[in-house]
């Protein structure tokens, strides 16, 4: 369109990924009692749900009171999906708080301390943009798309994909420093305002 002269170059903007309307995702201070980690997405292997569950088990064995919220559905038609019997067991063992599919993601983000997306691959994850806008620290994998949302050690941590140990280690850093949760959350909100606002 630029080359054809249909639009002027000074009116062209490239947004960071999808972009969101920050009016719908207002900043709120992260709750710290208890510390809560949240996963949002279909419960698929490629989204890192198995790593999230394994890391949650690891943390719960060593730290009391930490909670893990999971929003999203299983996908029976997908061979990489968490199975219903696996989900039932995890719920019964109280490893996670399974919320399922919800329309009001911002409500659950506001009730969580840290957003986690241990995906194997992504485009430019909208869920991470939403979490950042609300002011949440982020743990995500060092893969294209995901890595474009996090400045490592600034608004969260980039971790190796396929590694529940690396995920648990990043979670532990936040558990041991509530100030880090607050600081990373504020930086997330700053980045979201600068890069993602479509208003």
For the entire predicted model, the pTM comes to 0.89
pLDDT at 15: 47
Higher pLDDT, 13 or 78: 78
Interval 66-97: pLDDT, tens:
999 999 999 999 999 999 999 999 999 999 99
pLDDT at 47: 96
The answer to whether the beta carbons of residues 47 and 41 sit under 8 Å apart is yes
CATH class of this structure's domain 32-195: alpha beta
Decide: residue 180, CB within 10 A, 0-12 exposed, 13-18 middle, 19+ buried: middle
Burial 121-157 (b: 16+ CB within 10 A, else e): ebebbbbbbbbbbbbbbbbbbebebbebbbeeeebbb
- Average pLDDT value for the chain: 91
pLDDT at 184: 98
In this structure, the number of other CB atoms found within 10 A of the CB of residue 28 comes to: 15
- Does residue 140 surpass a pLDDT of 90? yes
Cα–Cα distance between 156 and 64 in angstroms, integer?
Answer: 22
Interval 93-117: pLDDT, tens:
999 999 999 998 999 999 999 999 9
pLDDT at 7: 52
Domain ranges of the chain: 32-195
Cα–Cα distance between 95 and 61 in angstroms, integer?
Answer: 10
pLDDT at 37: 99
Residue 128's pLDDT band (cuts 50, 70, 90): very high
């Amino acid at each position: 369109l630029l080359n054809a002269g249909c639009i002027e170059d000074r009116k062209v903007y490239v947004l960071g990924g999808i972009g969101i309307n920050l009016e719908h995702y207002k900043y709120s201070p992260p709750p710290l009692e208890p510390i809560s980690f949240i996963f949002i997405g279909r419960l698929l292997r490629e989204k890192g749900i198995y790593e999230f569950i394994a890391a949650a088990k690891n943390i719960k064995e060593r730290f009391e009171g930490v909670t893990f919220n999971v929003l999203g559905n299983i996908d029976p038609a997908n061979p990489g999906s968490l199975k219903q019997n696996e989900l039932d067991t995890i719920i019964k063992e109280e490893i996670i708080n399974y919320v399922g599919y919800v329309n009001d993601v911002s409500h659950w983000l506001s009730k969580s301390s840290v957003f986690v997306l241990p995906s194997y691959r992504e485009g430019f994850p909208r869920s991470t943009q939403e979490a950042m806008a609300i002011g949440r620290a982020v743990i995500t994998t060092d893969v294209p798309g995901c890595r474009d949302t996090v400045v490592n050690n600034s608004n969260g941590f980039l971790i190796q994909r396929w590694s529940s140990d690396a995920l648990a280690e990043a979670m532990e850093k936040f558990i041991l420093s509530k100030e880090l949760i607050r600081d990373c959350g504020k930086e997330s909100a700053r980045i979201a305002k600068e890069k993602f606002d479509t208003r």
